[in-house]
Structure 1
């Protein structure tokens, strides 16, 4: 976007007023996102440029997408931040952008402008999606300029943000006859008759670019002559080329070289390519002709075309031979490998097997670093440069897999439809199977991937073969077939020529073993792992798996150590890895009774999964995020996550997602003492027809909720049958947390049958199991049921002792439904509770709780912002509310206050 206002700008008063009103809101701490959209040449850029010229006392950061650099990782964000971001992942980059904005806005509002967003690189737009979703009280004004907010080149997350009800949408329309008359005056055109102006409006459709070109190039006499035909808007290129022809040779060569380098480039690069020894006089002439703008960049003087149509007109007029020579010349300029390959591709006149092989190799390096967008683009370019249709099919199928990893399902479907007829059946089956898996057609996906595995030559296409095995492993884990998942993951690992980058293959193998009853074997494979801070990517994958294993086998201190270390060490890892690590840490913290931390991490994981379009893990993240609010009686909060977890069609939900979601919903119903709803949520799990994940002890502990609900409803035979199966499996693997819940179930069932002595023995056996695992909620619920049983048996003093012990844990956890019941039981024992501290968690919102917990750990505001992926301003805002609600004025006071309500 060129600097400086356009002196020929007319009208747009309504749009300018809306932009200035939005900026006023930003000045008062209300961040704004504005979408400026409209067809090509309609004046979107001119509108924003005029606004920026009028926006005083604001810091402006500008960037523009470029069709030629759409695959350049972080090309747009590097324009904004003026630094290299290569190798980072969007979440880390988004966090850095939030921190940068927090620093800049201390001096006044910050305006971000992303022009031609449809051509922005995908990684930049993903990072900006994180940023836009996390602006709360910041003085940040973001303007996204694009032709169509539904353009599939925009990531789905960004499209959702642009369609959000909070986004201000300004659609720039055509100029009317009166506005075109004003444009004539601004251009110094001799007065036109009203008929001539109306003809100009109809002829150009009110498009300012086309109208201005005609007004500048066609004499007023001809415009007023209604018998003379006007040039068609498509002749715009001829008008641009006429200006170019009027320039001296040095200026022409400079402009032509710049057109090969993109919408913008450094002057010295364009002059070197053009062979122009004195670039400034040439640039001056090109600027005077309206062919280029100049602007000061971080590295020196830049040139930019005023409009994509201007550049396209010049570029297309070069002719194939000259265009190829210039691209080859650009490929030899000092630059990075991305640009060198891009120019060599542009210069290719036909198939080039050597270049195709280089592109494919570069694409695989990009994939290893998680740059899926660039990898897919290079694979497709390699495919079209291959002179072998079989090889082309392999490269296109590989690109399908990469596109799916990047969440670009529609594009993957389009590439799959273009696979050449000569593509090998097994290669086609892989691409179709991977697409089917992502689309939720699990049976079809497994059949196709099996065909692919059996038909592929693993030595000829090792990448596709390995991805087939890995996809089969993930698919079997989704289907709750852990043993098969572990076997497929092991095959994929054996096929790697070197230790792979963390891609969940090791994690999938360890998890598959665990959920199929082989947790001991899985743990034996993880004994020699280093500290997470010293781990390689391969070892981090294994540490993530071990953390989950320890969670499921009651080694909660070990699990927390592994998972906290992994989360701290994976700041620059792929988004899926960080999401999964954060979610698994939250799950372990929930079981360990560290609910405030669990809420922080599961909420963060769910938010990131949505924003990053990681739909395979998002339902599980939302189900985990519902556990703490469900246990605390925060129905609205829990229901929000449950609706998100259940939002996808039932047939596309994995078994793992269905089990986690059903458990969370049953937990919410249990807190409400709605036993019928608990049974309704859980009974369908018996129909899933698999054991792994669903019935393996310690994975998703839902059976105890069902047994207690059935017992409360008087369905004792069904409760006993369910309990017997659960107890046998739990005793076989020795899971103390599960056995404690089993004994609680047994105690309640025996009490319902009036077997008083046997019921008390079961409760006492359960307490012995709780001594082997520090699971406060499991222990508290057991003590609550035990105390209620003792009260009903007439032993009020003994009941009160158990209930007080339960209350200590429930107060700390702020498990309100259970705490209310505990206090009612104590009152019935003759010991009414006067200390109600546990019932009032300070009236803090979930976001305020998250900030408070991190602050009292000693984190600075900047560290809290990085942990929660929000801006520093947002942290300051929440902290101010926390101080007001708790009546303190310092971090020290806050720590003391929260410690006082947590015995």
Structure 2
């Protein structure tokens, strides 16, 4: 039998007597009919003991036996450490409440985590102040924490009633579950069949089915006292439909006559409701004080007996009131209050009189001293009329929730605060704030509903402008909608006379949205946004404002007029201090502008800076965008290994956050490699996706990549159509410019000289104005393709000289290749060899196989041979093994590697052991020799710094 330990707090004098009096149906009956489930769970525990991680979702109806299976796991995991959490319906609005239950025993290990992770988790749990942490960084912190705990003993985490976890906890634990691999951690969730699958839907699951007829009969016989008519017995078995809890509970509370002459509850009622009604029948005979005590226990979500004792005293409930509920087998009072089943809690809650419910909430509010947010929530539920004091308290709780990253909780606090706000103007403002919090939580439809409610209130002009802004932000964030530029522009124009700072930020967002939409913008394209931006009346000093002005001039007045302002903005972003918030908001746009004006140095510095800020902040959604820009820069720079490593990181981020964003960087990387069988399907798939999403910039990148692929393969006529399409829409900025360069080469080599000349004219208008070595070098290379006879040679030489002063080694190699091809056709084989050999070496080093093969064939035609690139030993490694090996060769620790790839240090070590075996080495010191290319990006003067990065890569 169970032994109930009476914790310090409630002095329930009759608990022991009630335990002795338990009915035999409450004793252990074994898990009848669950042999296959138990065998699977035993294998799960065995795997964890041997150093592997396992994740499982037990899914089934209420009462089907999920909790019993969790207890079975706990009983078989005697050598493991057990951690538990239980979702509570009344606690769903409190951010990270469920996660805190699970992690609370391990918080003494918090200082062992990397600083960003430690700060994020501490902030989420309210242990320290700080900016709202990224939810994925919190997930990484929990992964590291559980992995650290499992270093001592295998860890089994059991989460019951997961359908009632708060949103923040559910998504964090699902993130952790997807990243577990070799940590000796089991994470097992029990949830309802009908639960929302948004968090746990993609995890391995076990359906807990109904018991068979024979097992149902054995269980019912154990539950029924005394003889029972065979027909009635059969009726109860049929009514229970194999649900173990129903078999135990349906006979309870019924008189012998009811058992003999009728099945009781009508079959039309859902089984869970019938079982809840069964528990309700068991509650009704209890004394009033006992029912009120159970109501207080049901409403107090943590099961804190100290808080419950104080609340009971305030309600005038004596300690003796607990005994009847314990004796009836409905609840246990120990270190925590535990109900026999969640349906007991819901029956006590839902059946309560509204006056009793308010009284209980009021008492719990007074008894809750250490948690101001729970106290505020209880006060709110106790209020029967508008109360500004309580509404203000809720507003403060919302502020604290937002600071912890609990935006869904903040929205709930603000919604209830609005309901309790007596002043209509203040009420509308709080509804608008609740909508903003819903938007930040990613709940776009509820946010729009709240916006409609706010719009019906007495808002001032600024409030209504904020409604317009939030509607536009939802349109942009939910789908990168091509309606977003128009909505953002309208919001910016409305905000301009009311809040100029917010208006300028909104104009920048409108530029980003218009750039994304590109050719698919239904209204408010880049030109319309630029035309609406007010011309500056003062000399701006803020980076953001200078960038906005430069963008407007660039689109509205052209490169010559814009460049002084644009260069000033880029210089500010390169050299001045930048806050995390500002960097996340505007560094991507600044990097695009740098690429558009052919400023390779700024593009390099800003893309590296964006990656560092996003990585250090753990802002994974922005990190994905930052990595995309960085990969493009690395490919232009010819740093293939660094680009491959960054592509791997982007894949890890995308998988970690469940992003469905098109694989731009993977597509472009494959195009540079020139592997048609790999690149072309990626390009086609990405093109279909971006067209469906209305992303013009994505279409430009896909078409540029397609043209790049075919030019590399020497299939110039195939490159013509995508190159022309890529460069057709100047509003897609840098990608359109790169499309023009591909068009010139494809058209010139296909004999379409008029088309090539027109493209060159458009290109030179930009490049002459920009005047950078990248711009003028590409122009000279392109012009040489259209120049007859010896006049082409100085153009090729100028291109090589100019591009040799830049970071864009890939552009330089292409200039050498074209010059070498021209020299060979001119019969100057020795001169051609020099250029072709240099181009071949660069292309081979950067893995540009198609361009490299072009150079090799030309070398053969000059009488010189060049080896094809052969597969190396490291090609035997998986993508993740190669990424880990590269980072380890660069001197990263397991913790740093795990933070970058969103896996635990223990999983890193597991992969490294496999790498060592495949490469035939025994230590990290040998990796540099086994992977010679992996260390090419190390800064020659500082082994701890990657070439081109602003500093050491810090662990997330």
Shorter chain as denominator, the TM-score bin is 0.7 to 0.9
**Cα contact 2:489–2:529 (8 A) shared by 1:** no
Secondary structure, counterpart of 1:217 in structure 2: coil
CA distance in 2, matches of 1:792, 1:859: 49
**1:379 lines up with 2:414 in the alignment:** yes
> Any conservation in 1 of the 2:928–2:934 contact (CA below 8 Å)?
no
How far apart, CA to CA, are the structure 2 residues paired with 1:533 and 1:426? 31
Aligned position for 2:782: 745
The structure 2 residue matched to 1:624, chosen from 648, 651, 665, is 665
Change (3 A) 1:466 1:705: closer
CA distance in 2, matches of 1:900, 1:430: 49
**Cα gap change, 1:446/1:583 in structure 2, threshold over 3 Å: closer, same or farther?**
closer
Aligned pairs for 1:765-780 (under 5 A) are 765-780=798-813
1:256 to 292, 295, 314: 295
The SS at the match of 1:774 is coil
- Confirm or deny that 1:96 pairs with 2:141: yes
Equivalent residue runs for 1:696-845 within 5 Å = 697=737, 701-750=738-787, 755-834=788-867, 836=869, 842-845=875-878
**Residue 732 of structure 1: CA displacement?**
1.0
Match of 1:475 in 2: 513
TM-score calculated relative to the size of structure 1: 0.83
For residues 398 and 285 of structure 1, do their structure 2 counterparts lie closer, same or farther at Cα, with a shift above 3 Å needed?
Answer: same
Q: CA deviation at 1:894?
A: 1.1
Partner of 2:90: 68
Corresponding position of 1:298: none
Count, aligned residues: 865
Shift of 1:729: 1.0
Residue by residue over 1:276-311, the C-alpha shift from the partner in whole angstroms, topping out at 9 and shown as x without a partner, is 89999877875554333467xxxxx32233433211
TM-score between the two structures when normalised by the length of structure 2 = 0.79
SS at match of 1:773: coil
> Residues 668, 54 of structure 1: CA spacing in aligned structure 2 closer, same or farther, 3 A cutoff?
farther
CA distance in structure 2 between the partners assigned to 1:380 and 1:641 by the alignment: 45
CA change 1:745–1:133 in 2 (3 A) is farther
- Asked whether the 8 Å contact 1:476–1:484 carries over to 2, the reply is no
Q: Does the C-alpha gap of structure 1 residues 81 and 184 become closer, same or farther in structure 2, counting only changes over 3 Å?
A: same
- Is 1:273 aligned to 2:311, yes or no? yes
Whether contact under 8 Å (1:98, 1:870) holds in the other structure is yes
* Mapped partners of 1:890, 1:329: distance in 2: 63
Once the two structures are superposed, the pairs formed by residues 48-127 of structure 1 within 5 Å of their partners are 48-82=70-104, 83=107, 84-86=122-124, 87-106=132-151, 109-127=154-172
Structure 2 portions without partners, runs of 5+: 5-25, 108-121, 125-131, 519-524, 937-956
Measure, in 1, the Cα distance between the counterparts of 2:846 and 2:754. 34
Q: 1:437 to 1:133 in 2, by over 3 A?
A: same
User: 1:661 matched to which residue of 2?
Assistant: 702
Q: Distance in 2 between matches of 1:649 and 1:436?
A: 16
State the shift of 1:205 in Å. 3.9
What SS is found at the alignment partner of 1:702?
helix
Pair 1:724–1:612, CA change in 2 (3 A): same
Deviation of residue 864 (structure 1)? 0.6
Question: Are 1:324 and 2:358 an aligned pair?
Answer: yes
Select which of 4, 9, 16 maps to 2:38: 16
Superposed CA deviations along residues 751-785 of structure 1, whole A, max 9, x for unmatched, are xxxx2312322211210221221212111222122
Matched with 1:43 is: 65
Distance 1:243 1:810 in 2: 79
In 2 relative to 1, CA 207–95 (structure 1 residues): closer, same or farther, beyond 3 Å? same
Deviations 1:844-879 (A, max 9, x none): 433233212211111111211111112224323432
For 1:126 and 1:509, locate their aligned partners in 2 and report how far apart those are by CA, in whole Å: 40
Looking at structure 2, the residues matched to 367 and 876 of structure 1 have their Cα atoms a distance apart, in angstroms, of 36
**Deviation string, structure 1 residues 602-659 (Cα, Å, up to 9, x no partner):** 44345535654666xx33xx20233223322455765676466446462533222322
- Contact 2:45–2:73, Cα closer than 8 Å, also in 1: no
| Secondary structure class of the residue paired with 2:805 | coil
What whole-Å deviation, never above 9, does each CA across 1:443-473 have from its counterpart, x for those lacking one?
Answer: 64455556666677976x9999899667545
Alignment partner, residue 243 of structure 2: 207
| Counterpart secondary structure, 2:931 | helix
Q: Look up the SS of the partner of 1:667 in the other structure.
A: helix
Question: Contact 1:510/1:546 (CA < 8 Å) preserved in 2?
Answer: no
Question: Which whole-Å CA distance do the structure 2 matches of 1:439 and 1:381 have between them?
Answer: 26
**Partner residue, 2:342:** 308
| TM-superposed deviation, 1:407 | 2.9
Q: 1:491 to 1:394 in 2, by over 3 A?
A: farther
* Mean Cα deviation higher: 819-828 or 776-785: 819-828
Partners of 2:428 and 2:458 within 8 A in 1: yes
Maintained 8 Å contact 1:741/1:766: yes
For residues 354 and 223 of structure 1, what CA distance do their matches in structure 2 show?
A: 52
CA contact (8 A) 1:291 1:310 kept: yes
SS state at 1:143 partner: strand
Task: Give the CA deviation at 1:260.
Answer: 1.9
Question: What is the CA–CA distance in structure 1 between the aligned matches of 2:63 and 2:680, rounded to whole Å?
Answer: 46
Confirm or deny: 8 A CA contact 2:401 2:407 kept in the other structure.
yes
Taking structure 1 as reference, are residues 563 and 515 closer, same or farther at Cα in structure 2, changes over 3 Å only?
Answer: farther
Structure-2 separation of matches of 1:506 and 1:142: 50
The 5-angstrom pairing of residues 431-830 of structure 1 reads: 432-438=471-477, 440=479, 442=481, 444-447=483-486, 472-480=510-518, 481=525, 517=559, 518=562, 520-525=564-569, 535=579, 537-538=581-582, 556=600, 560-561=604-605, 563-570=607-614, 571-605=616-650, 607-609=652-654, 611-612=656-657, 618-619=661-662, 622-633=663-674, 638=679, 642=683, 645-646=686-687, 648=689, 650-685=691-726, 688=729, 690=731, 692-693=733-734, 695=736, 697=737, 701-750=738-787, 755-830=788-863
Aligned residues of 1:400 and 1:416 also touching (Cα < 8 A)? yes
SS at match of 1:831: coil
Secondary structure at the counterpart of residue 215 of structure 1: coil
Aligned residue number for residue 9 of structure 2: none
Deviations 1:79-130 (A, max 9, x none): 2222445143222122222323433444565433333333323333333343
The answer to which of 168-177 and 798-807 deviates more is: 168-177
Say which SS state the counterpart of residue 226 (structure 2) adopts: coil
Aligned to 1:804, the other structure's residue is in SS state helix
Q: Separation in 2 of the partners of 1:3 and 1:711?
A: 87
**Structure 2: distance between partners of 1:806 and 1:22:** 55
- Measured after TM superposition, the shift of residue 800 of structure 1 is 1.4
**How much has 1:229 moved relative to structure 2?**
3.7
- Rounded to whole Å, the distance in 1 between the matches of 2:3 and 2:96 is 22
Higher RCO (CA < 8 A, seq sep 6+): 2
Contact 1:473 1:488 in 2 (8 A): no
Q: Which position in structure 2 is the counterpart of 1:343?
A: 378
What is the distance in 1 between the residues matched to 2:242 and 2:478?
43
Are residues 95 and 439 of structure 1, via their aligned partners in 2, closer, same or farther at CA, if it must alter by over 3 Å?
A: closer
**For the structure 1 residues 528 and 287, does the alpha-carbon distance in structure 2 shift closer, same or farther, using more than 3 Å as the test?**
farther
Residue 177 of structure 1 deviates from its aligned partner by 3.4
Distance change (3 Å), C-alpha of 1:648 and 1:826: closer
The structural deviation recorded for 1:895 is: 0.8
Provide the rounded CA distance (Å) in 2 between the counterparts of 1:69 and 1:870.
30
Residue 886 of structure 2 contacts residue 931 of structure 2 at CA under 8 Å; is this kept in 1?
no
Distance 2:62 2:533 in 1: 49
Relative distance call for 1:818 and 1:450 in structure 2 (3 A) is: closer
1:170 — aligned with what? 206
Return closer, same or farther for 1:334/1:669 CA change in 2, 3 Å cut-off.
Answer: farther
Q: Is the 8 A contact 1:602 1:624 kept in 2?
A: yes
Partner of 1:871 in structure 2?
A: 904
| Separation of aligned partners in 1, 2:546 and 2:188 | 42
